[in-house]
Structure 1
Amino acid sequence: MQPAPFAGSAASSHTGAHAGSLPGSPAVSAGTPALRTRSRRLLVRQALLQRLSPVPGRRCIVLRAPAGFGKSSLLLTWQRELVAEGIDIAWVRLAELAELTVNGEGDLHFMTALMGALAAVDAAIARHAVAHAQPDADAIERLVIALVRGIAAHGRQIVLVVDDVHSAQSENVHIALQLLVAYAPPNLLCVFASRNSLPMTLAPAPGADTVLTLESDDLRFSLQESVDYLRMRLPDLDERSAAALHRLADGWPALLRLASADLRRRRSARPLPPEGVPDLAPFAAYFGAHVFPRLSVTQLRLLTLCAAPTRFSAALCAELAGTGYSAAQCAELLVPAAREGLLRGVTPGATGAPGAMGATGDPAEPGSLVSAPQAPADERWWQLHPLLRRVLLARLASWPEAERQKLHAKAWPSLALRGMHHQAVRHALAAHDHAAAARLAERGAVALFVQGKLIEAIALVRQLDPATLGDNPNLRLWAAWVELADYRLDDCARSIAALRAEPGGIEPAMRYRLTLLECLLAIRRDDSDALQQLLSQLLAPPAAADDFARAGRRNVLTWLHLRNGEFERARQIQRDEPLAMIGAEPVVETLFGSLVGQCLVGLSYAAEGQVHGAERIYRNVLREMHERGTRCTEVRRLTAQLLAEVLYERHGPLVAARSIEEQPGTQSGLIPDTTLRMILVANRALQAAGRWREALEHLAQAAAFLQRQGIDRGLACVLLEQLQVQLTRNDSDAARATLQDLEALHALHPDVESGALRQVADSVAQARIRLAMHDNQPAQLPLLLSHIEALALRYRQRGQVGLGVALQLQAAEIERRLGRTEASGARVRAALRLGHRLGLMQTLLGAHDNALALIRAARAVPNLDPVLVFFAERIEALAKPPQPRDEHAGQGASTISRDDRGLVRLLTLREAEVVELLVQAMPNKKIALTLGLSLDTVKWHLKNIYLKLDAHGRDAVAKRLRMEREGK
């Protein structure tokens, strides 16, 4: 929506023009025209407002962008700042004058409106101009000179805004605007807003700051601005959905407004579809009204053709357009569309502009252009705006079927030559050329695999249906990789068995890839025995095995030793074996790269209970990813999943669970270890929020999933957690039934003493201890203590020292019940000392229902080591319970029920953590130390918090938060 400043003045001017006089008193007072004609909440775009701020020597500001980029809204918010600073403003909107113009009176209307706007600032300016008006050939220049002299005499700074310059049709109006800039005195700043290039030439004086030009790329909303704008319109919209809409609209303000209106409408009518994909009709209408009329018929046709691929160049466009078009001609036609914000340049190998992938519904194809040796190195590539591409694809779908097939048949050879494997296969399938699609997929999968792009190879083959796969054993092997990625483990196992039994066999390089696939299947099934059986094949790659397959061996071996409890051996493999190379480059990213290997090293420390060591490794991985600029999805997901355990120990389950929720894809574990961690962290957050019934339902669903996948180690851990929840709820009968399920599971693996499945026996032992402690039969306590000691000894022998921390506190509680106060206190202090060394806090709290009381009692002991005192205080702070929640309210709410309501839902995870510590009256330095941040980073977060919560300092934030939590 465009503002209508001086609407009243324009009407008065029109009436006065026929009377041959200027309006004596404008309808809108100076400095506040737009504010009085329209009352609406505007987004304050501080970064752009700072760029607009008047600077010495600046003569002119130009805002040039298509409709809907927020030019007038930006000027309205700027106007408020200028008025507050005492700067005078005059505003003329040429679109309204164009509507009034009849019989060639445009010149008169413009000059009348211009003088009326300046008269609202200072009536003497207009009087001076009227006094010098003469009806001759130089009338316009004479009037401009008179206005300029009056402005100079006014003395104070004036900002003259001329909006909708593209509406000016008269040459004389263009001349008047040109002269205003050329003759402007130092106290006049001219601001022009237009959809097109200005119809006059600005002749700035020498100097870099004479003219400021802001175009569509400058005016796009940033991610944070989109989030803020959408929350103004949809207060309940979560940050992830807002970010998705930002990517979809690519920061185009008007499209964001349409998307938010569509969301608001559909939320009241029907459920929101996945990804919040909007109804295309409003966007098609918008593009039809404001964009397509500005394109030639040829431009619109070319853009429609180019909507078929996700990226295109001028040469590719010419090939799709057919005879009669050259790359140079297409480039000439496409470049203006880029200036209009309809498409954006992307570099070969990049994922492209924000929102280009995923928002369009196409399979992700990161990095596909890198493998395009046939494409010219300097070939320029573009992507269509995501929503525009959707609209154009809808237009393309209305073309005759034969014409569309012809387009796809042209597209796939061109895309294949450029190494754009995914799109080539997609277009071959759309052209119904299944044989070509199979050939392209086979060649592309091999090319991507040997480059280390396993996920892309899987995504490529996923496009093929069984009929296209046919009897080709190579394609069937890639299809088995797809089955593994989709967690169709039984299908994957059957495919592997069929390929192993292939009569003619498969070539050695593919056979080694098959071995690697079988190893990954064993890992995903948590089957270290099956992996052990494949070890000899894994360690003896054939000469034909590619480098990437060899690289995978390193991480597979690390996981095998990790699961066997050989922690130092697992680390040694990553430390001592040479880094695998592909060509001259080390394999760093992907599932088989060194960064995932380092994550497994961190996991080895975590398995021992050394949280400090694990966190150090994970943080190093993140730092290296940042330094390399890598976008490796697998590494980022795996690191985020493993860091959740660190956050759980340091900050509790609520913070850890929210860190998982805020990172897309993190909830799905990459390996059984992370799958189990995600389940337990999410469930303990439900428990911490008092949502016991939901916690039990969640555990039941997790147990069913793990049972279907045959991951008995994970199933045992989930059953143990279920038993603990039941005991907390004092449901002893249910807990005994769960123990029977655990014992039945153990009966399936009765003699396992090593490997992953020994955890089943450990879970049974822990369940019996917890149930016996809950029953609290005094005669059984000495025997129970001996069971705890025996289990703790087994953990120490295996090097899993962290698991003994909770057992120490359980033993301390038994000693207390037996009346052995001194022995109980000694065990608590030993547990605190070990927990402090390893970095375990939440583990201590969860050891037993009375663990916090034992820790408090130990802290009160005179002359206790100050380090242990401080550590105990931190544990007590961690134990502060969240506000109670009604189990029956808000069933669809997020896991972090307390933090996701009210003021704090406006904040990011890190900002919410800062606020929690701020409410505890921690100074900035202590907040930085607690969260592992720099002092400058804490100050930066505080600035954002003050802005979002509309607070003016720490005390105001704390007061508002306390009042909200008290329900005031």
Structure 2
Amino acid sequence: MSEFVLKATPPRMPRAALERAHLHDAFRHRHDRTALTVVAPAGFGKTTLLLQWRRWWHDAGTRVAWLTAGEDDRPARFTLALQHALRLGGVLGEANDQHAPRRDTIAELTTLLAAIAALGVDVGVVIDEAERLPEDTVRGPLQYLLLNAPANLHVAIGTRVALPLLLSELAAKDQSFALKTEDLRLRLEESLAILDARLGDRLTLDERARVHGIADGWAIGLQLAISAIESEPDPARAVQHLSARHGAMQEYFVTSLFARLPPETSACLVRASILEHFDARLFQSVTGCRQPQDMLDRLARETPILAAGEGTQWIRLHPLARDFLLGKFEKLPPRERSALHTRASSWYAECERWHEAATHAFAAGDDALAQTYAARSLWALSTIGKLAEAREWLERLPHAMVAGDTDLRLVAAAVLAFSDRNGEALAFAQDVLADREATAPARAHALRIAAGSAAFGDRLGLLPALVDRWPMSHDAGGGPLSTLAGLNTRALSALHTGDGGQVRAYVAAQQPHGDAGTLRLAAALGRMLGALSHLWEGHPVRAEAAVLPALLHAERDGRRGMIACLYASVVAAARYERGDAAQAQALLADRLDVIERHGFPDNLVCAYRTLANIALEAGDEAGALAALHTLESLGARRGAPRLQAIALAHQVRVHAMSGRKETVARTLDALDHLDPAFDEPDMQPLRSEYRLAVAFARARAALMHERLDAAELHLADADLLAETLQRGNDVQRVKVLRGIVASRRGDPKAMTLLREAHDLAALAGNARLAADTHPLAARLLEEALDTPPPPAQPKSRDRHARAALLTSKEAEVLDLLGKGLPNKAIARALDVSGETVKWHLKNLFVKLSAGSRRHAVERARMLGLVT
């Protein structure tokens, strides 16, 4: 029958289909399960993945049949179509009883399953568009097929919605496996690869990252964006003006999505487009929808336009869908638009969500009410890391409103502390601290502002006096936020004196307080300081493990959030040191402006030094110098001489490698001119770091001039300073440069020094130390070892990442969890109680930023903790 031939013919594989490593790995480890399901809305690449699975099955010697389901596939027809698919796919031969009277579907399926079992080879059946199957087919023959499948039969099902299948028995036997929307959502590196393949170098890395953010991991959304960019003569401008309100994107939303929705649903979505996030109650309050939960559940299941957060009832619209809907919202009558914003503002105000209440009051035209709400929003925004939004509101508030309210001025100072106006915030905080009539809470608040301003401005000499006055009890005006800020202040001081263990002790002391609500930013800064301590000690694996799960969690609120960007600067530095330059660069893509505005000095150093190193590795000396000049300019603008010193010292490194003697001399003079700045009391704690940078720079200059005795003297200074500051990488860099000096002298101990530095760095996970320190070091090591240099990009995470992130017992639980074992089976395997297993699972969920068992395993695979 011709119609069955068409149903059994796989569609054409998209020409530019991307083979996604984590999905290939998932198939490789689970292709032998009985039931493999892929559940995701339209446009996430289900059919493409099923086609790849079909090919991979074929490559493994499995016989594969394809069946595209339809609404007319009632039980008998479905069974007949399946028989034709198996025959047309070459799985089974022609039946001898084609003209015999038809038996019932269960009997037919039983005969079919017996024939498959008799083959003695693996058989795969792919059923695509299974959401179209009638319910009696799903509950009847499909259910029977799965529950009675012989060991050599594997069924892959692609569907837009979860099917009413009872798979608990298969799950208990570890014979089922499911992929969902989040598994199919494109990751940044995948979007970058697709954009590079289609557009080449027409877009910068930042622009490609921006397109990824707009598409939000939706495969067809990315393809639509690419089509829009391809047709424009100016790709950069096309990225800036990407919109779903015109062109092919608009046409897709009109014809492929919204044309299929009931008018009432479309109307509600248009009105809800003014909301960044919503739950059923807010959705109903604004839109007037009569059954909001049913509507939202159906839209989340059947379309790609809604995304639900894990462990929460809050939902957001896909950015492109929201853009399209806002275009329609703007065509509503002005009075209706204002009324909708007023409803939203009132709802948020009742929930004391003042930022959102102010936003909608302002959109409704009620400026006075918006200012009142905005003033009340500043505190929360400043403590959860939404400082850009807080500053915008602060600039809209009347000066008299702020000036006449001491509490509001304190809140405003908390916002300005992490900005280029941190000097103003520090001055006001010091005024409050000098005021004998200030209340204990006001003094505690002022101490937090002063410490934040000093840290942001790199004026660490102010911190000890602030710590001495810090209240560490609620009765003294403190509180959880004050406690965390005090611990962070102590940790930052310890970091710059080289006491990494003490840094981590202060960070560990924060854990009982949690990291939710107003503690979010403070807890994030503490976690970041702990990661920096590992990085400075020369342990990039530990640094990455300390903060990567938190980065993944923070990115749920967007890649460009302040907290996500600060984390990313540290992870990028660690990734580069581990040899993964491409991933390090991707981590920083479309984030530098946020890091510049809101990053602490150490974030700027991590970001721009990493970019300079990446450019040098690629042979782009001009790019490296541009990054270092930017860091120098930022230091000058912020009044942070340490940043200028680090940038200048690395410029000496670049110019010395090329033998530019006059430029090196001029750059060294600029370094020397910074010296008096570190005599100032505010800067004295940073003098050792400045001296270390100068020692390295002078050693490199002496090497360039072949003044080997002078180079050794400067390296001796650097060695002592690096040991004092516990800068593990710098200690090994000294060894490398001493090895270079020895090689210039013809001293046989040269290779001993180089090998020792190389081996110690490798043990800590640093794959780039020798090559970054001096190009000759890498060549000498390569010749001595008689092996090619280590690959630039590691294929997998090493065991150090696992050891740094998990306890041994957590690792054992995770392994068993990855095998699909339930809690009782894990408890039996490890000879522990069920409560102990639950406790370990809870810790795993926290460390992996996971909301479920499946999510924990997927996060662990992404981190390379399980295979």
Stretch of structure 1 that moved more, 401-410 or 117-126: 117-126
Query: Secondary structure of the equivalent of 1:455?
Result: coil
Mapped partners of 2:292, 2:86: distance in 1:
46
- Could you say which residue in structure 2 is the equivalent of 1:401? 334
1:345 and 2:308 are equivalent in the alignment:
yes
- Could you say which residue in structure 2 is the equivalent of 1:361? none
Q: CA distance change for structure 1 residues 749 and 345 in 2, over 3 Å: closer, same or farther?
A: closer
2:316 to 367, 383, 388: 383
- Could you say which residue in structure 2 is the equivalent of 1:481? 414
- Could you say which residue in structure 2 is the equivalent of 1:375? none
1:305 and 2:271 are equivalent in the alignment:
yes
1:316 and 2:248 are equivalent in the alignment:
no
1:689-838 to structure 2, matched below 5 A, reads 690-746=619-675, 755-756=684-685, 758=687, 762=691, 766=695, 773=702, 792=717, 800=721, 802=723
Q: CA distance change for structure 1 residues 295 and 598 in 2, over 3 Å: closer, same or farther?
A: closer
Query: Secondary structure of the equivalent of 1:383?
Result: strand
Mapped partners of 2:706, 2:109: distance in 1:
99
Amino acid at match of 2:315: W
Query: Secondary structure of the equivalent of 1:802?
Result: helix
Q: CA distance change for structure 1 residues 261 and 923 in 2, over 3 Å: closer, same or farther?
A: closer
- Could you say which residue in structure 1 is the equivalent of 2:835? none
Query: Secondary structure of the equivalent of 1:273?
Result: helix
Q: Structure 1 regions of 5+ residues with no counterpart?
A: 1-5, 14-25, 99-105, 134-139, 351-379, 805-833, 885-913, 941-968
- Could you say which residue in structure 2 is the equivalent of 1:331? 293
Mapped partners of 1:49, 1:876: distance in 2:
31
Mapped partners of 1:586, 1:167: distance in 2:
43
Q: Deviations over 1:856-899 (max 9, x none)?
A: 631578xx999789669999995458999xxxxxxxxxxxxxxx
1:373-522 to structure 2, matched below 5 A, reads 380-446=313-379, 453-456=383-386, 459-460=389-390, 462-467=392-397, 470-472=400-402, 473=405, 474-489=407-422, 492=425, 509-522=441-454
Mapped partners of 2:502, 2:375: distance in 1:
37
Mapped partners of 2:165, 2:528: distance in 1:
58
1:515-554 to structure 2, matched below 5 A, reads 515-528=447-460, 543-554=476-487
Stretch of structure 1 that moved more, 650-659 or 453-462: 650-659
Q: CA distance change for structure 1 residues 692 and 408 in 2, over 3 Å: closer, same or farther?
A: same
- Any conservation in 2 of the 1:588–1:594 contact (CA below 8 Å)? no
- Any conservation in 1 of the 2:699–2:714 contact (CA below 8 Å)? no
Q: CA distance change for structure 1 residues 880 and 207 in 2, over 3 Å: closer, same or farther?
A: closer
Mapped partners of 1:677, 1:212: distance in 2:
44
Q: CA distance change for structure 1 residues 211 and 407 in 2, over 3 Å: closer, same or farther?
A: farther
Query: Secondary structure of the equivalent of 2:275?
Result: coil
Deviation at 1:401, TM superposition (A): 1.8
1:618-629 to structure 2, matched below 5 A, reads 618=543, 621-622=546-547
1:917 and 2:794 are equivalent in the alignment:
no
1:273 and 2:273 are equivalent in the alignment:
no
2:736 to 839, 842, 845: 845
- Any conservation in 2 of the 1:745–1:760 contact (CA below 8 Å)? no
Stretch of structure 1 that moved more, 627-636 or 550-559: 627-636
- Any conservation in 2 of the 1:226–1:246 contact (CA below 8 Å)? yes
1:2-401 to structure 2, matched below 5 A, reads 9=2, 33-34=9-10, 40=15, 42=17, 46=24, 67-70=42-45, 72-80=47-55, 85=61, 87=63, 89=65, 129=98, 131=99, 217=181, 220-221=184-185, 223=187, 233=198, 248-249=214-215, 251-266=217-232, 269-271=235-237, 273=239, 281-322=247-288, 326=290, 329-341=291-303, 342-346=305-309, 380-401=313-334
Q: CA distance change for structure 1 residues 49 and 689 in 2, over 3 Å: closer, same or farther?
A: closer
Mapped partners of 1:80, 1:643: distance in 2:
36
Deviation at 1:93, TM superposition (A): 7.5
Mapped partners of 2:211, 2:517: distance in 1:
35
TM-score by length of 2: 0.66
Deviation at 1:343, TM superposition (A): 2.6
TM-score by length of 1: 0.60
Query: Secondary structure of the equivalent of 2:308?
Result: strand
Mapped partners of 1:631, 1:853: distance in 2:
52
Mapped partners of 1:871, 1:216: distance in 2:
43
- Could you say which residue in structure 1 is the equivalent of 2:827? none
Mapped partners of 2:645, 2:684: distance in 1:
15
Q: CA distance change for structure 1 residues 280 and 488 in 2, over 3 Å: closer, same or farther?
A: farther
- Any conservation in 2 of the 1:735–1:771 contact (CA below 8 Å)? no
Q: CA distance change for structure 1 residues 923 and 433 in 2, over 3 Å: closer, same or farther?
A: closer
Deviation at 1:536, TM superposition (A): 6.6
Query: Secondary structure of the equivalent of 2:420?
Result: coil
1:852-863 to structure 2, matched below 5 A, reads 852-853=743-744, 857-859=748-750
Deviation at 1:314, TM superposition (A): 2.2
Mapped partners of 2:79, 2:96: distance in 1:
13
Mapped partners of 1:653, 1:183: distance in 2:
46
- Any conservation in 2 of the 1:644–1:657 contact (CA below 8 Å)? yes
- Any conservation in 2 of the 1:94–1:167 contact (CA below 8 Å)? yes
Structure 1 vs Structure 2 CA RMSD: 6.6
Mapped partners of 2:318, 2:385: distance in 1:
26
Amino acid at match of 2:731: L
Deviation at 1:403, TM superposition (A): 0.9
Mapped partners of 2:57, 2:178: distance in 1:
19
- Any conservation in 2 of the 1:92–1:162 contact (CA below 8 Å)? yes
- Could you say which residue in structure 2 is the equivalent of 1:894? none
Q: CA distance change for structure 1 residues 561 and 281 in 2, over 3 Å: closer, same or farther?
A: same
Q: CA distance change for structure 1 residues 484 and 686 in 2, over 3 Å: closer, same or farther?
A: same
Q: CA distance change for structure 1 residues 492 and 847 in 2, over 3 Å: closer, same or farther?
A: farther
Higher relative contact order by CA 8 Å / sep ≥ 6: 1 or 2?
2
Q: Deviations over 1:117-160 (max 9, x none)?
A: 7885799969955x569xxxxxx989999999899889869988
Q: Deviations over 1:901-951 (max 9, x none)?
A: xxxxxxxxxxxxx9963699x9999x86899899x99xx9xxxxxxxxxxx
Mapped partners of 2:299, 2:110: distance in 1:
38
The count of corresponding residues between Structure 1 and Structure 2 is: 773
Mapped partners of 1:558, 1:90: distance in 2:
60
Q: Deviations over 1:483-503 (max 9, x none)?
A: 33333445656776998999x
Deviation at 1:409, TM superposition (A): 0.7
Amino acid at match of 1:290: S
Identity %: 19
Mapped partners of 2:126, 2:15: distance in 1:
20
Mapped partners of 2:25, 2:613: distance in 1:
42
Mapped partners of 1:344, 1:680: distance in 2:
37
Query: Secondary structure of the equivalent of 2:790?
Result: helix
Amino acid at match of 2:748: A
- Could you say which residue in structure 1 is the equivalent of 2:847? none
Deviation at 1:706, TM superposition (A): 1.6
Amino acid at match of 1:392: L
Mapped partners of 2:176, 2:534: distance in 1:
57
Q: CA distance change for structure 1 residues 141 and 121 in 2, over 3 Å: closer, same or farther?
A: same
